[in-house]
């Protein structure tokens, strides 16, 4: 696609439910990143994928968070048993590859998750 696409744009869920957030990177981009942006805060790194390599999960805040990337393209971030502190904007970004990431990422418009 022309840009990084994220869906849904907004999601309201009840505490304790599971949610899935989707990211469709730019076609041909092999590197994909997830960030979390809590209200009024900066971006917190969650996880990144590079090609077929094992993902770097070092930023995931708890074992309720997981992500996968199928076929080296679309990625899904799953939050199980959501808590109110999970409310945030979840941003996805992609770059052409490892080395091209030095030129910066292209971000999607994010998913605003609200846990009630």
- Positions touching other proteins (CB under 8 A) are 33, 35, 41-43, 45, 48, 56, 59, 89, 91, 93, 98-99, 101-105, 107-110, 112
Query: Minimum CB separation from other proteins for residue 18, in Å?
Result: 23
The torsion defined by the Cα of 84, 61, 37 and 34, in degrees rounded to 10, comes to -130
Closer CB to other proteins, residue 82 or residue 101? 101
Cα 11 from Cα 7, distance rounded (Å):
9
Closer CB to other proteins, residue 28 or residue 104? 104
Closer CB to other proteins, residue 18 or residue 53? 53
Query: Minimum CB separation from other proteins for residue 61, in Å?
Result: 15
Query: Minimum CB separation from other proteins for residue 81, in Å?
Result: 26
Beta bridge partners of 13: 115
Query: Minimum CB separation from other proteins for residue 62, in Å?
Result: 19
Cα 116 from Cα 113, distance rounded (Å):
10
52 exposed, middle or buried (CB, 10 Å; 0-12, 13-18, 19+)? Answer: exposed
């Amino acid at each position: 696609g022309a840009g990084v696409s994220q869906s849904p744009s907004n999601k309201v869920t009840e505490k304790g439910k599971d949610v899935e957030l989707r990211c469709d990177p730019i076609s041909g981009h092999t590197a994909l990143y997830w960030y979390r942006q809590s209200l009024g805060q900066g971006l917190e790194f969650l996880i990144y994928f590079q090609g077929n390599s094992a993902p770097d999960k070092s930023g995931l805040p708890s074992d309720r968070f997981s992500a996968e990337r199928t076929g080296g393209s679309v990625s899904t971030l799953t939050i199980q048993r959501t808590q109110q502190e999970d409310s945030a904007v979840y941003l996805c970004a992609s770059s052409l590859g490892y080395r091209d990431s030095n030129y910066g990422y292209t971000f999607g418009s994010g998913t605003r998750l609200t846990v009630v």
